[in-house]
Structure 1
Amino acid sequence: MDKTKLEMAGARAALGEGIADVFFAEPLFDALPDVVFFVKDAGGRYVVVNRTLVKRCGLKHKDALLGRTSAEVFARPYGQNYLAQDQAVLAGAGEIEDQLELHLYPNRDPGWCLTRKTALRDASGAIVGLAGVSRDLAMEDRKNASYQKVAAAVRMIHERYDQPLPLPELARTASMSVAQLERYFLRIYQLTPRQLIIKTRLDAASRMLAGPASVAEIALACGYGDHSAFTRQFRATVGVTPTQYRQMLGR
């Protein structure tokens, strides 16, 4: 490590020791209405939360969340799935990075977010808790100058999500390489092309599940070759099976 890095490491350590409240970022996250922020202890219980999470849970005060696990806060089976994620991170299984998830908000409207969770370690390296954020997806930012370069590919996904959509074909539609397509998708949508395809298909599926069509019919209409493939993808992303989701909607 060179001299500059050593000096910065020392400055970082000194600053860390001098901060009275290690959770100084809490009021900063309170100011972000599209970002959920939380810190949990080794048992997966909320220690720090921001106002956005409180609102998403349909609660009024942070105290209503503190000391509780996800399984005690969210409806089944969402809460159990979130707790299982926490337990995996706390057990040292690694971080959760940009997990695309569908949430049901208190008004029962679905909303998409990208979730990240990382372990918190003490000075000896032992895991003592975790911190996480879930960021709402702000789709189709047309103010971005590069939007038009991928608009054609996005239109293809929206119009043909019921069909196979190989990346080379999407790239040709956008007149760019696959690498360029992926880079622009991440810049504009904070999603890979594959993630956007999944999101578009499951958006359509979640809407159809509010109606009378069978799960098998919905699977075919949303581009899945068979019922089981659709159910696996839906459960992996949404956290429940299509049938369970339909029941949660009261259908």
Structure 2
Amino acid sequence: METSLKSWRSDFVARLAQPLFVEALFDHMPDMVFSIKDRAGRYVCISEACADRCGLDHKREAVGRTAHELWPRHMADRYTEQDEQLFRTGQPVLDKLDLTLFNNRKPGWCLSNKTPLLDKAGQLIGLACLSRDLLEPSRAGIVDARMAEAVDRMLARYAEPLRIEALADLAGICTAQFERRMKKIFQLSAGQFLTKTRIDAAARALAETDTAISEIALGCGFCDQSALSKQFRQLTGFTPRDYRQWIRGTQ
């Protein structure tokens, strides 16, 4: 049954005359910016909102150009750094706080996620990015460069024993304020966000490697395999072993 569903879905997608249909969907969402880039960082397509923010008359003007040709340098540098990380590791870039330009051309903050795009041979050929404006937090001063740095720390060093108090210090605010900002932005407490980040990393390792579960647990910031199993089951409904079998279609 599982095999036939996968085959049916693959056949359906292969029959689509407009594989970039998703671009049209986001054209009608002014608070979201959607784009696809190739390995060289050139835009394959962008949504209307992205074209507006870049000062383009039409979104087709972005095709073949790079972030440094369309965005202010300090923004483009960060976007390009993220892209290179994804191309280097093959892993998605999740929950990044980034500077952007709103539709009124004023700077603000957005929450970005990027996913790798593979060709039929399984080779990494590009990425898709979706960024959502954080309008209310930005107006209230909830997001700033130091807050983004603290979130970057959690995303990059989740394997370490991070303390919420130390992250709050990095953000330049007290622990209670840090927790309120995390809740406002991500709808998760700082502890929950850190756990989610670790579980996301563990799920990728389970799906893409044959590393022992005990090693994955330690490499993702859990004290042992039991701690990983408990948290993983709470969030996904699977044990790590069952998830590995399910995602690989061997269960």
TM interval, short-chain normalised = 0.5 to 0.7
Corresponding residue of 1:123: 120
| Aligned residue among 101, 106, 110 for 1:109 | 106
**CA RMSD, 1 decimal:** 2.9
Q: Does 1:165 align with 2:169?
A: no
Q: Tell me the equivalent position of 1:209.
A: none
SS of equivalent to 2:35: strand
The residue identity in structure 2 corresponding to 1:61 is H
Deviation (angstroms), 1:72:
1.6
SS at 1:91's partner residue?
helix
Question: What residue ranges of structure 2 are gaps of 5+ in the alignment?
Answer: 138-170, 192-251
Aligned to 2:26: 29
Q: Contact 2:32–2:133 (CA<8 Å) still a contact in 1? A: yes
Taking structure 1 as reference, are residues 129 and 63 closer, same or farther at Cα in structure 2, changes over 3 Å only? same
**Paired residues of 1:38 and 1:46 also in contact (CA < 8 A):** yes
Aligned-pair identity (%): 34
| 1:13 partner amino acid | S
Corresponding pairs, count: 158
Gaps of 5+ in 1: 141-160, 172-180, 196-251
TM-score of the aligned structures, taking structure 2 as reference length: 0.55
Higher RCO structure, 1 or 2 (CA under 8 Å, sep 6+):
1
For the pair 1:99 / 2:109, whether they are aligned, the reply is no
1:47-66 alignment runs, 5 A limit: 47-66=44-63
Comparing 42-51 and 68-77, the one that deviates more: 68-77
After superposition, the C-alpha distances for 1:132-175 in whole angstroms (9 at most, x for unaligned) are 100012548xxxxxxxxxxxxxxxxxxxx9652258x969xxxx
Cα deviation digits, residues 14-36 of structure 1 (max 9, x gap): 10111112111111110111110
* Superposition deviation, residue 74 in structure 1: 1.3
8 Å Cα contact 2:75/2:99 also seen in 1: no
**Does 2:200 correspond to 1:190?**
no
Tell me if the contact between 2:33 and 2:130 (Cα under 8 Å) persists in the aligned partners: yes
2:50 partner SS? helix
Distance in structure 1 (CA, Å) of the matches to 2:189 and 2:55: 33
Per residue, is there more helix in 1 or in 2? 2
Q: CA deviation at 1:54?
A: 0.4
Aligned mates of 2:173, 2:84 — CA distance in 1: 37
